[in-house]
Structure 1
């Protein structure tokens, strides 16, 4: 009876989200992704699917919205209509109910041996302008050169992705983590697909996609960077499915827990333990800028990381931007760093 209820609930959520894709949800313009893996017993890469653009990366939301429409420039598309908000809220509620039920179903806590076949973890990091360009370029190189049709290739991509995120640590601004209890391979595959689908639905044009050995790419649509968006941020979503438990994070605002999770994911990065990987980032084009205000609207589940939990950086008292603590002035607005005698202006 319980298994039947879970199957029914998952089917309802999947059907709802497929139907929701017809609504003109506001999204960032560009993104990129790569991944692959297998939830079967064969160990070969690539059986979970995920063809390029099938989650909305090919412009399925229609045209009309330009990044920056929120910040003041004329042109509509700055808000969500009631026809979109109501089903979106209902869908999120359904997803939370089923996800929480799956978490409870899984059983044991971290470190226990009495668990199912697969564990899943997803971490989302919002990275500020100081590391945005370098991180975007790093992920694009991985997408264009990485081997996504073998477990060894996926393990290497996981290591390189984590390396890029750790190098950008001083620029971490926002974070979110999805924790799960171990579960069956069939249940894990459904959740893994949904997490990837949700992340790829946050943008309209997928500029690069490398999945299961098949690579697609296209040029970015014509756009210009808006001055009121600043240098912009990038959001990276990393989803991992493994044959062992993955560390859970209780407080996503503590960078120490985020580091520990990335370290634990690094330990998973081997062909025998890693089952599936998905990496999604947005925006992917230089002129497609996402402000922090837009980030909070596109990714409302992300929370600001406690500035005290990342050593070596401070936040400006005027514009609230982060910067290296050895600087005397904020590189964002020019204000004096905390503890200096300079006058603002």
Structure 2
């Protein structure tokens, strides 16, 4: 009886209610479920780039033409000289070589010297052109082509954006994530879906990491992917490199409405790309537009990760602050086109 009377006290009742909430709401004991869609094409891009390099480093057609022309003229002059050695008279050559009267070889010094200088000038021009061309491709074009970048955009949304969860599920279900065009589709559709839900966006974060080699770029991309995946308790929907996996969340329906949704977009691309610092809705809109407009020919890898993936899961404010500390609230200004 004393125990039952004690339960009636307000303090004890509050403690019991808190324990019940912690038991029933998965956001207090579990991380929310996660979805993941994307893939990588680093190897195919590297092979195409090496074939391009071999093409650029091969001798130019003009230098090959000059070399063959010079060789043919040298051979014709040599044959004429050998013929002159056997004949007493050699017909004048249009290149300035003429046969001598005593069985020797006579040369028109002025014409031959002029022609020789002409060949030397052409050869020098070809060498200089090739050197400058290779240097240009190596220092300007190659500097841009070899440079790659890893982009990260993270968006926090209110839990009422259930339609956005369904849209991401649909993208993951139908996307071909084994090709650059398929990855471009994932990126474009995700950015468009976010742009269509401006009222639900509440926070954001962007980062740009420039790399000078494909290996460093891929390593950084994988590192960020692993970090984001580590925030999920379980991946309930996956489509990566066309390997698909789906399972029902083990948490079931909590009976509580979701508080927040977080979407992370990771992109590795060739060349130099920039994202604005996310301070307000206009910055977020600009960043989404920039990501969505990256050509498929530049894309090396794309991954979109979101939590919770299951509409019945809930991501609490405490989890949002602990797992995504870099998210910053979006400032709202009058006249903003995106009303985040």
> For the superposition of Structure 1 and Structure 2, which TM-score range results when normalised by the shorter chain?
0.5 to 0.7
Alignment-derived partner of residue 248 in structure 1: 275
Cα distance in 2 for partners of 1:258, 1:121 equals 14
TM-score (structure 2 length as normaliser): 0.59
**Does the 8 Å contact 1:170/1:312 carry over to 2?**
no
> What is aligned with 1:219?
248
1:192-227 alpha-carbon deviations (Å, 9 max, x no partner): 001111111111111111111110111111333354
1:121 is the counterpart of 2:151: yes
1:153 is displaced (CA, Å) by 0.9
Match of 1:306 in 2: 331
CA spacing shift, 1:113–1:244, aligned 2, 3 Å: same
Higher fraction of helix: 2
Matched, 1:150 2:188: no
Matched, 1:32 2:25: no
Shift of 1:168: 1.3
Q: Secondary structure at the match of 2:202?
A: strand
CA distance in 2, matches of 1:156, 1:134: 19
Superposition map of 1:155-166 within 5 A: 155-166=184-195
Output one character per residue of 1:267-298: Cα deviation in whole Å (capped at 9) or x when no partner.
21x33111110000000112211133331122
Q: Secondary structure at the match of 1:186?
A: helix
| Unmatched tracts of structure 1, length 5 or more | 1-25, 45-111, 315-321, 323-345
CA distance in 1, matches of 2:190, 2:181: 14
What is the match of residue 341 of structure 1? none
Give the structure-1-normalised TM-score.
0.58
Whether the 8 Å CA contact 1:148–1:210 is kept in 2: the answer is yes
Secondary structure of the residue that 2:236 maps to in structure 1? strand
The change in CA–CA distance for 1:118 and 1:310 in structure 2 (over 3 A counts) is farther
1:139 equivalent to 2:168? Answer yes
Supply the distance in 1 between the matched residues of 2:227 and 2:30 (Cα, whole angstroms): 12
Maintained 8 Å contact 2:45/2:300: no
**Aligned pair in 2 of structure 1 residues 267, 43: CA closer, same or farther (>3 Å)?**
farther
Pair 260,113 (structure 1): closer, same or farther in 2 beyond 3 Å? farther
- Mapped to 1, the partners of 2:180 and 2:206 lie a distance apart of 24
1:247 deviation in Å? 1.4
Deviation at 1:261, TM superposition (A): 1.6
- Provide the rounded CA distance (Å) in 1 between the counterparts of 2:334 and 2:325: 21
Unaligned runs of 5+ in 2: 1-28, 48-140
1:191 alignment partner, one of 213, 220, 227: 220
Helix, strand or coil at the partner of 1:28: coil
Please say which structure displays the higher CA radius of gyration.
2
Query: Against the structure 1 CA distance between its residues 114 and 313, is the aligned structure 2 distance closer, same or farther, given a 3 Å change threshold?
Result: closer
Note the C-alpha offset of 1:254. 2.0
SS at match of 2:254: coil
Q: 1:313 to 1:244 in 2, by over 3 A?
A: closer
Which residue does 2:301 correspond to in 1?
A: 276
Tell me by how many angstroms 1:306 deviates.
1.0
Whether the 8 Å CA contact 1:182–1:245 is kept in 2: the answer is no
Shift of 1:182: 3.9
Match of 1:259 in 2: 285
The structure-2 alpha-carbon separation of the partners of 1:158 and 1:171, relative to structure 1 and needing over 3 Å to count, comes to: same
The aligned counterpart of 1:52 is: none
> Does the aligned pair in 2 maintain the 1:27–1:202 contact within 8 Å?
no
Distance in 1 (alpha carbons) for counterparts of 2:305 and 2:35: 6
Aligned partner of 1:237 in structure 2 is: 264
Partner SS state of residue 296, structure 2:
coil
